Structure 1
Amino acid sequence: MSHMPASLFDHRLVRGLLARCGEARAMRTGVLIAALAMVLGGCVPDEPTAPPQTDIHLSEYVVSGDSIALRIPLNRTERTGYDNQPQFTRDGTALLYTSERGSSTDIYRMSLSNHTTRPITALPTSVYSPTPRTDSTFVVVQVEDDGAQRLWEFPLSRTAPVTPDEGALLLPEVEPVGYFAWADAEQLALFVLGAPHILQWGNVLTGRADTVRVDIGRSLESRPQDASVSAVQRHENAPDSVLVAYGPDEVSVYAPTLPGEGDHTWTREGHLLMTSGTALYQWHPNAGSWREVYDWDPATPSRLAASPTENRLAVVVAPPEE
């Protein structure tokens, strides 16, 4: 362990730890406590905390009325390491995801026709949360040289990995960003790291970002049926809830959440799906309840994404602890 006086502690260490962890609830509790302990104790770890072992499973689903059935998922990134944060391209032909295969994370693209994978970024610092903005561009959270975490846009339609000089900074005044989701090509919701974490509504043309809610979960999801974004509102003395935001001043409660992180997504038909424990669940508005769709027991699913063009689902799954 290396040591330095607490008075010289750089607040960016906390951000770096939080970015490497990538888990909002862990950021609020264990990681944040550990980081603060380092401040008070004046010690800094020699190496950042390694991301967890995760894989991405792909599956097709079948809709019958207001119910969904999942075909047996297949592990498409089966290797030792961190493969996480999947997002489908707008045409549904490929999957973008975050992968750590060295000292930092980069973005990879998987073709869904043959499941071949190639890197699409080659950047000196870590990038996270790859999300298409248009048919030809995608946006990431980039951890910059000084520790800032901001949104950067890069070209998507090319074969060689993008380089730093091809990026365009979005919302330069908004940071540290943890996660985000697009309402349309101009407006987006942002998870901004804080104590507690903040939900902001940004506009990349005006550069403005307004606070919508405080104390939110990490899962922000675009809704395919309209220009809105969903988020999880944390409550101290009541069950957490799924919010739907149409703008900074128009927010409604949609459903209660399940125990866990509140990782969720929306299918193109408008079904709300959420992972909890070892299973995937679907919300039935008419019944006012969650129903189990598929169970990975003893493995644990977390983040998930639904294809905008096909009945296809990507789910992040962690193997059972030994």
Structure 2
Amino acid sequence: MGFAARYMSAVMAGLSVLAVQSVTASAQSAPREKASFPETEIFLFDLKLGDTVSIANGRNVTLRAGYDNQPSFTPDSRAFLYARSDDFQTDIYEYSLVDGTTRQITRTETNEFSPVATPDNASISFVSDGPGAWQTVEVIARNNPEISKRLLPGDTLREPIGYYSWNHATDDVLYWSRYGFNISLTHKDKKTSDYITGDAVPSTPYVIPGTNQFSFVHRQGNESVWIKALDPKTKSVRPLTPIKGTNANYGWSPEGSIFIIEKDTLYRWKEGPSDGWESLADLTEYGLVNAARLSISPDGKKLAIVGQVKP
């Protein structure tokens, strides 16, 4: 190669390096787009279950500007996991009921939602919302949260998961499709899933306490919205109760009651002769409004409610 050719080759190589550096610098200097999350707080109550249900000592335990949502108690009832936002995304945090401290568990540039601890409390599963709105369920070990693995095989997921429930006793997984608005049943190790129903309302499914059945929320053809039970063995679906009002976020207590909030009033439904919703408490008396989600501790002694501070 002559001098001129070698010179031009060197120039082009230098330009290529400068171009890569320019693109890299541009990408690094480009500011991240801020996210827009609603302002929510998590309030913690003492709960007394029985024929008569009561709550007491409601207090705001997150107490900050930003999004704090989707509380889920650990199996020992000593803490709850939740999704917490900064200016750009949500991460998983944990609030200790023992000493009132908060610690961050995940540190990513993507959104994590719906955290749930495994029965041994050694791992945490959650919905991960990555680039391109790809949303799936991941699992991390508490002692190594930087490494995650998918709960389900990739080809199980025909649509991104929005909400899910994992029965650790059977490894059945029921999930709500983010775009399909349907409920599907699969197994942790299966590469296929069973379509259960369409017209499913965006709401977290649960394992019904004391059973291997799941509950989910379904909008019927006449527009009424019901909480229903699914038997994963037979695929049969049984209606339990219509929701109270319009809020489809509910939770189970360990003795088998459903709790729900409508217009800042806490209600309970328990299967039996009455089969109706019982009014329990006006939550505005505890300084919160726009209450929506809730979670009950496994020992039945604590209730976490997501809402906003009463002006």
Q: TM over 0.5, yes or no?
A: yes
Structure-1 residue corresponding to 2:27: none
Whether the 8 Å CA contact 2:35–2:87 is kept in 1: the answer is no
Structure-1 residue corresponding to 2:125: 139
Q: Which has the larger radius of gyration?
A: 2
Structure-2 residue corresponding to 1:269: 255
Structure-2 residue corresponding to 1:246: 231
Give the 5 Å matches for 1:39-118.
Answer: 50-65=36-51, 67-118=52-103
Give the C-alpha shift of residue 49 in structure 1.
5.8
Aligned match of 2:186 in 202, 223, 230? 202
Structure-2 residue corresponding to 1:291: 278
Gaps of 5+ in 1: 1-45
What CA distance in whole angstroms lies between the structure 2 residues aligned with 1:177 and 1:313? Answer: 26
Aligned match of 1:167 in 148, 151, 172? 148
Aligned length: 269
Whether the 8 Å CA contact 1:301–1:317 is kept in 2: the answer is yes
Structure-2 residue corresponding to 1:25: none
1:72-94 Cα offsets, whole Å, 9 max, x none, are 42111111110000101122221
- Structure 2 residue 180 is matched with structure 1 residue 213: no
Q: How big is the alpha-carbon RMSD for the aligned residues of Structure 1 and Structure 2?
A: 2.0
What percent identity do the matched residue pairs reach? 26
What CA distance in whole angstroms lies between the structure 1 residues aligned with 2:291 and 2:80? Answer: 18
1:139-197 Cα offsets, whole Å, 9 max, x none, are 111112343101110012x3xx722xx101122231311111123351121011225x0
Give the 5 Å matches for 1:145-160.
Answer: 145-156=131-142, 158=143
1:182-218 Cα offsets, whole Å, 9 max, x none, are 23351121011225x0111121122332111111122
Whether the 8 Å CA contact 1:262–1:276 is kept in 2: the answer is no
Question: Residues 213 and 48 from structure 1, CA distance in 2 versus in 1: closer, same or farther, beyond 3 angstroms?
Answer: farther
Q: Which range moves more in the overlay, 199-208 or 273-282?
A: 199-208
- Structure 2 residue 114 is matched with structure 1 residue 129: yes
Question: Residues 294 and 47 from structure 1, CA distance in 2 versus in 1: closer, same or farther, beyond 3 angstroms?
Answer: farther
What CA distance in whole angstroms lies between the structure 1 residues aligned with 2:195 and 2:302? Answer: 33
1:248-284 Cα offsets, whole Å, 9 max, x none, are 7122111111112311111111111111111110014
